[in-house]
Amino acid sequence: MESIRIDEVVRVPAHALQVRAVRASGPGGQNVNKVATKIDLRVDLNAVEGLNAEARARLQWLARHRLDAEGRLLVTSQVTRNQARNLEDARDKVRDLVAAALVKPRARRASRPTTASRERRLTVKKQRASVKRLRGPIGWGA
């Protein structure tokens, strides 16, 4: 098994990958009972090379729901009936996840609504309240 290259600096080494083929669910006829085409790819996230501390923390956060008991990333693929294509799909999923961790999120800046938008909101609220008030009883019966 070869390493997964994300860019010039970042890569997942081959020793950090563990592949297991298991029987897939779903369509496939008798083939699904005989051939192990589903791929379980486990990745040791601590072994990923070229990540700085921020990107490593983002990767841990992005993968938090896919971690197994040992803290390894578990990626599965059973989209095709072909084991080799499922392996490539799983490797692509790992590549996309690590690439997403490399992207630094934009900092959110707090903003305030404009005066005109506040006035529009209050005008609409008053109109709505007026409509609801007119739906009520006309007067108290004597």
| Mean of all residue pLDDT scores within the chain | 91
**Tell me: the pLDDT tens digits for 54-81?**
999 999 999 999 999 998 999 999 998 8
Domain 4-102 belongs to what architecture? Answer: 2-Layer Sandwich (3.30)
Examine the pLDDT at 124 and tell me if it is beyond 90: yes
What ranges do the domains of the chain cover?
Answer: 4-102
Looking at residues 83-108, what average pLDDT do you find? Answer: 94
Judge contact between 37 and 78, C-beta under 8 A. Answer: yes
> pTM for the full model?
0.74
Q: How far apart are CA 29 and CA 114, in angstroms?
A: 62
The predicted structure's pLDDT at residue 12:
93
